[in-house]
Structure 1
Amino acid sequence: MTSTIDSPSRHGGRSPSTGEWLHDWDPENEETWDRRLAWQTLAVSTGTLTLAFASWFIASAIAPKLNDIGFVLSKDQLYWLVAIPGLSAGVLRLVWMVLPPILGTRRLVTLTTLLLAIPLVGWGIAVQNPDTSYAWLLTLAALSGIGGGAFSGFMPSTSYFFPRRLQGTALGLQAGLGNFGVSLVQFVTPWIIGFSMVGFLGAAQTASAPGKPTHDVWYQNAAFVYVPFVIVGAVLAWTLLKSVPVRANIREQFDIFSNPDTWCMTLLYVMTFGTFAGLAGQFGLLLKNLYGAGNAEIVATLPDGSTQLLVAGYDVPDPVKLVFLGPLVGAAARVLFAPLTDRFGGARWTLVSGIGILASILYTMTTLTPDPAAGAAALDADFHHFLYGMMAIFLFAGIGNAATFKQMPMIFERRQAGGVIGWTGGIAAFGPFFFGVGLTMMSPAAFYAIGAAFAVLCIVITWVRYARPGAPMPS
């Protein structure tokens, strides 16, 4: 049996539909393509994907502050806590990638959105009790991976609704705005925990940190605030979405693995989205462990309970208030550069992305061994260089995310392109896990050196296979 999308030739006119399923859907035929339905699908699925990413990265927003509210977790335990959602999402994406032809867009988006409520409610309850076991925290981290798994189902589903000439724009908008969910959860968390907005769902926690007075926080808000939006998103998905009858069983979808471009594009998407997701998950802990107050010697405890640090005059950064910047830059780059990939092709921008990531990594490596004894001015300068370097990595990763998603629909036929998008997204979703394990096993400098070498490999693949004049698969 051959996998297909029904052709409009038998009926003519706009694609008729009965209930959930469309009939004779062909986005390449301007006369029959329902533009309004396509953009409506993009809007609803993008909104719910943003919530999915927020749910996926909830642990990265909460973990850096858990010890401040009474938990007792080591650096390695915190790295693992933030890494596990990446492991879970990577595995779940390999499941979600085969679901679009089986469930259809409407059921897939609705059911996945409802599932997001499970880890969100779980985190909201767990953070209120410092005696919550580490095993349960890891379980919640794994359940958060549902939000990451959604990507490999939502993106192929959306690709079925748009012609190839708009694939870069449509997929770039969906993925980029979905990626804003990472920045959203990290930006909203420091603000939303500061008052009892949903305090009736739990009591305040007392937060204490070196150099700062104690104060009340409501960390359950960081998770509970998304639950009403999840319910609304699921209702909208069920009432507004349709499904395209893409005919393919699970065995047929595995034919993508016989194509060498599947493996090349997997490496390139690991370089781009794997870097984005990995750094987004670990940015807060990196910032805290490299430049936080815990790395400066405490020399005195003041009468108000605060502490005086060895490096006087150094403004210790609060990771919870800064980590949203990187994902924000990366997501914005993905959105803004998506139309440019439609105009100039994806391969060129993937090449730019690889070179930019390599240069940014090399720059950032000079800031990964700060020395508090060097004084406040030197420490402050190193911190700002580290921050700028990280922003540059996020920027070029975002450009590459847009570019690779333009390449895939150009390289593969429509149904295969959906499968490759799901597969590459699944492997790249392991980024937070690989980053967490790597930073646990080796120094940040050594880990970044491996990242630089991998970027060189991806630059060579992009040039030889896709970007050079006369390349075998220009895209």
Structure 2
Amino acid sequence: MAGRWIETWEPEDETFWREKGERVARRNLWFSVLSEHIGFSIWTLWSVMVLFMGPEYGIDPAGKFFLISTATLVGALVRVPYTFAVARFGGRNWTVFSAVSLLVPTLAAFWVMEPGTSYATFVAVAALTGIGGGNFASSMTNINAFFPLRRKGWALGLNAGGGNIGVPVVQLVGLLVIGTLGASHPRIVLGVYIPLIVLAAVCAALYMDNLRPVKNDTGAALEAVRDPHTWLMSVLYIGTFGSFIGYSFAFGLVLQTQFGRTPLQAASLTFIGPLLGSLIRPVGGRLADRYGGARITLATFAAMAAATGVVIHASGNASLPVFLTGFTALFVLTGLGNGSTYKMIPGIFHAKALARGLDADAAAAHGRRLSGAAMGLIGAVGALGGLAINLAFRQSFQAAGTGTAAFWSFLAFYGVCFTLTWAVYLRRPAPVPTRAQLGYAEV
């Protein structure tokens, strides 16, 4: 793929940014959002497909939770190679390829989605949909390179939020099909996405660019792996994004299994939380730009713990209205936390570079270098949190028939995340430059 290559890219230069950079960066952002959006829809496809799988499929709730867990796991693992693919092949070129590759799991699901298909086949096809989860990592790495530090919170939040909306959109498509034609036509959902995948690939080929200065840096990757902040931020991202994607996969099944909702009733409720969580993610990034990512993240984990307490109360008392209220609040809060935690990543590495005595330009370059390498790893580990949530639900329902025990474990983890955020990023004044030096709110 020859591609279109931009040889020089200096987003921190305000003149360059004003005269050329912002226009080009925004164009790449919008078409990156489109491709990532569809990637998320395909990744979470089985959160919808399981709603179509009635008794005639012969799969119990534990088996359905395992299907969505398989998709979550693969989506987390492929994020690491997808991160480095941008520098190897170019952001535009890889976006085209990763979009086209979504046809494989979509067509495979179209082929097998009927009663009588073996469970092993369903597991294999669910695993294929995991490649849609990789689109997030490559998209975020690519957009991170296009924008200056002072705009990263907004840009990364918008890119990720637009992608995350792919979750409620595929669930809305499923709701439309179930509501109009019943639960026996899952292939219509798949048929809707085939032309959309082609559209995303064509738009990426026509309107996106490759950045020549973006190169894979083995040294940066190793340095990011050795940096404790990479792993600390991975834990926090498990709490925010891991919760978002895990709940998105599991919500409909929880409603069906614990509250006895029909496929139509579950589908009519499932999309609301992911939609709100996706829409508010850019707000989390914007608030982090203004007030500091750590402050917003700390408040988010405190509120998530409170919302989880509401869900535990509702789960124990079988109160669907209270359960829905608490669960929807959790989705909104995970969206805010997704935006604020991702904003923290470039800020941390930039601040550390300045603290080492690098001048503004060198510090900006060093921050981009390490944050780009760290984002793929953090995104992959964070997505594994979704796997943990799905497996926790599977075990909880197998053992007790409800999700209450799983929610208690989530509450404990949010307490850990709150403590880490406060102890590492807020308790002690960090030896980092001032807001004026950084050009944005402190980490």
Both structures adopt the same fold (TM-score exceeding 0.5) = yes
Scaled by the length of structure 1, the TM-score of the pair is 0.82
In the alignment, is residue 179 of structure 1 matched against residue 161 of structure 2? no
Aligned-pair distance for 1:463? 1.1
Aligned-pair distance for 1:164? 0.4
Q: Matched residue pairs, number?
A: 407
Equivalent residue letter for 1:339? R
Q: Distance in 2 between matches of 1:75 and 1:180?
A: 26
Equivalent residue letter for 1:425? G
Of 308, 318, 325 in structure 2, the residue corresponding to residue 388 of structure 1 is: 325
Which residue matches 2:384?
430
Aligned-pair distance for 1:134? 0.9
Residues 136-147 of structure 1: matches in 2 within 5 Å? 136-147=121-132
Of 236, 261, 280 in structure 1, the residue corresponding to residue 203 of structure 2 is: 236
Residues 86-101 of structure 1: matches in 2 within 5 Å? 86-101=72-87
| Secondary structure of the structure 2 residue equivalent to 1:247 | coil
Aligned-pair distance for 1:40? 0.3
Which residue matches 1:149?
134
Q: Distance in 1 between matches of 2:131 and 2:210?
A: 21
Which residue matches 2:116?
131
| Secondary structure of the structure 2 residue equivalent to 1:369 | helix
| Secondary structure of the structure 1 residue equivalent to 2:165 | helix
Of 404, 419, 426 in structure 2, the residue corresponding to residue 445 of structure 1 is: 404
Aligned-pair distance for 1:56? 0.5
Alignment check: 8 A CA contact 2:220 2:373 kept: no
In the alignment, is residue 397 of structure 1 matched against residue 351 of structure 2? no
Which residue matches 2:150?
165
Of 336, 351, 359 in structure 1, the residue corresponding to residue 306 of structure 2 is: 359
Alignment check: 8 A CA contact 1:98 1:250 kept: no
Aligned-pair distance for 1:239? 1.8
Equivalent residue letter for 1:143? L
Aligned-pair distance for 1:468? 3.7
Which residue matches 1:265?
233
Rg: which structure is higher? 1
Q: Distance in 1 between matches of 2:11 and 2:22?
A: 8
Q: Distance in 2 between matches of 1:252 and 1:273?
A: 24
Q: Distance in 2 between matches of 1:22 and 1:419?
A: 21
Residues 27-46 of structure 1: matches in 2 within 5 Å? 27-33=11-17, 34-46=21-33
Name structure 2 gaps, 5 residues minimum. 350-366, 433-441
Alignment check: 8 A CA contact 1:102 1:249 kept: no
Q: Which structure has more helix as a fraction of its residues? A: 2
In the alignment, is residue 421 of structure 1 matched against residue 375 of structure 2? yes
| Secondary structure of the structure 1 residue equivalent to 2:16 | coil
Alignment check: 8 A CA contact 1:290 1:369 kept: no
Scaled by the length of structure 2, the TM-score of the pair is 0.88
Which residue matches 2:353?
none
| Secondary structure of the structure 2 residue equivalent to 1:98 | helix
Which residue matches 1:303?
none
Quote the RMSD (CA, aligned, Å). 1.9
1:130-159 Cα distance to aligned partner (Å, 9 max, x none):
111111111111111111111111101111
Same amino acid, percent of matched pairs? 31
Name structure 1 gaps, 5 residues minimum. 1-17, 197-205, 208-216, 295-315, 371-378
Aligned-pair distance for 1:233? 0.9
1:30-86 Cα distance to aligned partner (Å, 9 max, x none):
222321110000000001110000001110011023015x31111111110111111
Alignment check: 8 A CA contact 1:82 1:432 kept: no
Alignment check: 8 A CA contact 1:98 1:253 kept: no
| Secondary structure of the structure 2 residue equivalent to 1:273 | helix
Aligned-pair distance for 1:88? 0.5
Aligned-pair distance for 1:20? 2.0
Which residue matches 2:361?
none
Q: Distance in 2 between matches of 1:441 and 1:191?
A: 31
1:293-321 Cα distance to aligned partner (Å, 9 max, x none):
58xxxxxxxxxxxxxxxxxxxxx981111
Q: Distance in 1 between matches of 2:391 and 2:419?
A: 27
